[in-house]
């Protein structure tokens, strides 16, 4: 499966996302923010970083990049799209998923290995998990606080669009401990933690089995590949 990873000015984790795709058995395809060509990919990842220096709002300028015209069109036609951290912010700014992001409630950048609960195991990116499963994924952000009005929160909670929820501690003050959401169709998912940093033993979070052995993030990428094979 060919999975495109878009690089924006200020992207930090595009190469890590490409590596995660490769480890999952897919073919990573480097895409450029200034292009209108998706190069025939079957899924897209918007990676983490500080695109355009997070000017205006995190992800705001990137959401208007030339390639986002194609990303939005492809997502609306059903192509799987995953937004990670800064990519999550882009998806919200592009109105592909509900909600928005503000500065962390404690006004500080945070980095930690974060426990999450899988709330929706039926999206294109989560079918390899089970409902209620707890996983550990690295998190690092300064503008990671997920917010939305009361009506939107009620709707996404009721319709199962909350994909992940923080467990143990809410690291940034996100409403309802929300760590990730999906669109109604389930092909577009955004989350603050970084699954691409938990894909290979020796480089992931600590687990009871061994230091740096956590690979829960790999399931995001194998999920979308396996779902495509079933179609």
Residues classed as catalytic? 85, 194, 196
Nearest to 84 by CA among 169, 201, 184, 164: 164
Question: DSSP letter at 177?
Answer: G
The H-or-E segment that residue 87 falls in is helix 86-93
**Is residue 53 a contact partner of residue 161, using CB atoms and an 8 Å limit?**
no
Structure tokens at 62: 């990137």
Centroid of chain to Cα 35: 22
Structure tokens at 66: 């030339």
């Amino acid at each position: 499966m060919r999975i495109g990873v878009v690089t924006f000015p200020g992207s930090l984790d595009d190469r890590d996302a490409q590596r995660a795709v490769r480890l999952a058995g897919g073919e990573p395809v480097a895409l450029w923010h200034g292009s209108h060509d998706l190069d025939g990919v079957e899924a897209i990842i918007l990676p983490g970083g500080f695109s355009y220096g997070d000017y205006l709002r995190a992800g705001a300028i990137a959401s208007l990049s030339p390639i986002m015209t194609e990303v939005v069109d492809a997502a609306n036609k059903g192509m799987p799209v995953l937004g990670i951290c800064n990519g999550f912010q882009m998806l919200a700014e592009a109105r592909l998923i509900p909600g928005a992001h503000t500065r962390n409630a404690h006004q500080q950048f945070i980095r930690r290995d974060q426990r999450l609960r899988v709330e929706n195991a039926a999206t294109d990116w989560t079918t390899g998990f089970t409902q209620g499963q707890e996983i550990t994924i690295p998190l690092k952000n300064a503008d990671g606080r997920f917010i939305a009005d009361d009506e939107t929160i009620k709707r996404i909670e009721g319709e199962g669009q909350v994909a992940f929820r923080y467990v143990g501690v809410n690291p940034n003050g996100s409403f309802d401990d929300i760590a990730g959401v999906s669109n109604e169709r389930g092909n577009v998912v955004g989350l603050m933690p970084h699954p691409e940093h938990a894909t290979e033993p020796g480089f992931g979070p600590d687990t009871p089995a061994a230091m740096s052995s956590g690979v829960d993030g790999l399931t995001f990428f194998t999920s979308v590949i396996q779902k495509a094979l079933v179609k």
